[in-house]
Structure 1
Amino acid sequence: MKLGVFLVLFGGRPFEEALDLVAAQGLKAVEIGTGAYPGNAHCNPDVLLENKAAREEFKKAVESRGLIISALSCHGNPLHPQKAIAKEFHDTYVKTVQLAELLDVPVVNTFSGCPGDHEDAKYPNWPVAPWPNDYQEILAWQWENKIIPYWTEWGKYAADRNVKIGLELHGGFSVHTPATLLRLREAAGEVIGANLDPSHMWWQGIDPVQSINILGRAGAIHHFHAKDTTIDPVNVNRYGITDMQPYTQMLDRAWQFRTVGYGHDMKTWADIISALRLHGYDYAVSIEHEDGLMSIEEGFTKAVRNLQQILFEDSAADMWWV
């Protein structure tokens, strides 16, 4: 496995300075934002797609520091019901896939998107209850008319370019659980897999180890984010897991994101890493820091130190004792 980081964490620093910082911590991989929600501070597809020399310089900057690009990331909502918004996210996705092919990056990370509830809707609609039956009708319409057709076409677009799509299982989007990921994968093909982030499993009440078991048996884990979550035992009883308070309301929220090791202990994280190895995942473990109690530098550094204790770097040995 390769310990890495989602480089948007250092979007305020010049590209090579950010790479130096990452390499100095002993990391081996970077995941780089190309636009949409992550922004494109370090990687502008419009520039790199048109300029071979710029692409070569970009790639050399990474590789000369002993790093790989584990993924290009363009998290957005290409299914947004407002067509102008959807087009912007979609165009970024297409350019990101094209750039991934040219840079030999095997994975593009994004969200599945979430449509509205009819053709003339203005805002996304995320059904989370089976009754009243209106919600079931909305859900069926979304999957049959928007989600499956889009990803069948644009998943194939990526597959034709030897690029896999890592969908982050994130609340507010149509694919947010192992089951919804496998549903889309069955319809759109094996190009679709998870950019699995345990933090989003915990707050939905899903055991990350079991999510790895479910998706790992299907070969459906394309990338992995390392981020933690803590659930407040008092506030969750008041607000529930669908707490709509801003993330800044840390004293009152039911749950919040934390740096690795500050939501769950390292035995729990060791179980997660072991489950990944058990199912043959031997790729990037990409740190994502969204901890409101720590600075970027401190949260990143603590996550690195915690993960370095438990990450598998060597290949498994033959079972010499058998």
Structure 2
Amino acid sequence: MKLGVFTVLFGQKPLEEALDYIASKGLEAVEIGTGGYPGNAHCNPDVLLADESKLKAFKQAVQSRGLTISALSCHANPLHPQKAISQADQSLILKTIDLAQKLEVPVINTFSGCPGDSDDAKYPNWPVAPWPPDFQEILDWQWANKVIPYWTETGKYASDRSIKIGLELHGGFSVHTPATLLRLREAAGEAIGANLDPSHMWWQGIDPVQAVQILGRAGAIHHFHAKDTTIDPINVNRYGITDMQPYTNMLDRAWQFRTVGYGHDLKTWADIISALRLVGYDYVVSIEHEDGLMSVDEGFTKAVQNLQQILIKEPLGEMWWA
């Protein structure tokens, strides 16, 4: 496995400066945003696809520092009921796939998106209960008319270019659990897989080790984010896991994102890393830093230090004792 980082947290730095800093920490890979929620501070697909010399310089900037690009990330909502939003996000995803092909990056990461409750809707509608029956009817309509058709077509576009799509299992979107990911993968093809982030498993009450096992046995883990979560034992009883308070209300929230090792101990993280190796995932562990209690530098540095202790890096050898 290789240790990497989602470079969006260094978006205020020029690309070369950010890459120098990342390389100085001993990392081997970078995940770079191309637009959508992560922004495109370091990688604008329109610019790079239109200018071969700029594309070459971009690739050289990464490679000259001994780094590889693990994924291009364009987290967005391509199923948004407002066409101006969905069409822009769909275009971004296709451009990111095209750019990944040119850069020989095997994976792009994004969200599945979430439609509205009808063709006349203005806002996404995320059903989270099977009753009253309206919610189940909305869910069935969304999957049959929006989720499966869009991702079947986009999955084929990616597959034709030898690119895999890592969907982040994130609350608020149609694909947010191992089961919903596997449902879409079965319908839309094996180009669809997970960008698995344990932080979103924990707050939904899902054990990340079991999520790795479930998805890994199906060969459905395309990329992996390293981010932690802590659940407040008092606040969760007041607000529940679907706490709608802003992330900035850290003292009162039911749960919050933390850097690796500050929500769960390193034994738990070692179990996750071991589960990844067990199911055959030997790609990049990409740090995502969204810890509201730590600066960018401190949160990132602590994540690096903690993960370097437990990452399994060497190739498997023979079981000499068996």
Say whether the fold is shared (TM-score over 0.5).
yes
**Interval containing the TM-score (normalised by the shorter chain):** over 0.9
Residue 88 of structure 1 deviates from its aligned partner by 1.1
- Please report how far the alpha carbon of residue 316 of structure 1 lies from its aligned counterpart in structure 2 after TM superposition: 1.4
What residue is the counterpart of 1:156 in the other structure?
Answer: 156
Unaligned runs of 5+ in 1: none
Matched, 1:121 2:121: yes
Q: Separation in 2 of the partners of 1:73 and 1:218?
A: 23
Other structure's SS at 1:309 match: helix
2:23 is aligned with what amino acid?
A
CA apart distance, 1:194:
0.1
Q: Name the CA distance, whole Å, in 1 between partners of 2:180 and 2:93.
A: 21
Shift of 1:117: 0.2
Q: Does 1:285 align with 2:290?
A: no
The match for 2:177 is 177
- Does residue 88 of structure 1 match 2:88? yes
Residue in 1 aligned with 2:106? 106
Q: Distance in 2 between matches of 1:248 and 1:305?
A: 26
Please give the TM-score of this superposition, normalised by the length of structure 1. Answer: 1.00
Deviations 1:172-213 (A, max 9, x none): 000000000000000000000000000000000000000000
What's the counterpart of residue 66 of structure 1? 66
Q: Which residue of 1 aligns with 2:11?
A: 11
CA distance in structure 2 between the partners assigned to 1:174 and 1:52 by the alignment = 37
State the 1:307 CA deviation.
0.1
Show CA shifts across 1:122-178 (max 9, x none): 000000000000000000000000000000001100110110000000000000000
* 2:88 pairs with 1:51: no
Aligned-pair distance for 1:292?
A: 0.3
Q: Identity rate of aligned residues, in percent? A: 79
Count of residue correspondences: 322
Give the SS at the match of 2:269: helix
Alignment of 1:215-294 (within 5 A): 215-294=215-294
The Cα RMSD (Å) is 0.4
The AA in structure 2 aligned to 1:283 is Y
Code of the aligned partner of 1:224: F
Aligned to 1:21: 21
Taking the aligned partners of 1:319 and 1:56, their CA distance within structure 2 comes to: 43
Report 1:199-214 matches (<5 A).
199-214=199-214
- Superposition TM-score, scaled by structure 2 size: 1.00
1:168 is aligned to 168
Q: Distance in 1 between matches of 2:205 and 2:115?
A: 24
Q: Distance in 1 between matches of 2:56 and 2:85?
A: 32
d(CA) in 2 for partners of 1:197, 1:35:
19
Rounded to whole Å, the distance in 1 between the matches of 2:103 and 2:52 is 10
Partner in structure 1 of residue 137 of structure 2? 137
Which residue of structure 2 lines up, in the alignment, with residue 315 of structure 1?
Answer: 315
The 2-side partners of 1:269 and 1:140 are apart by 36
Alpha-carbon distance between aligned partners in 2 of 1:206 and 1:298, rounded to the nearest angstrom: 28
Q: How many angstroms apart in 1 are the aligned matches of 2:235 and 2:36?
A: 32
Distance 1:316 1:302 in 2: 27
SS at match of 1:49: helix
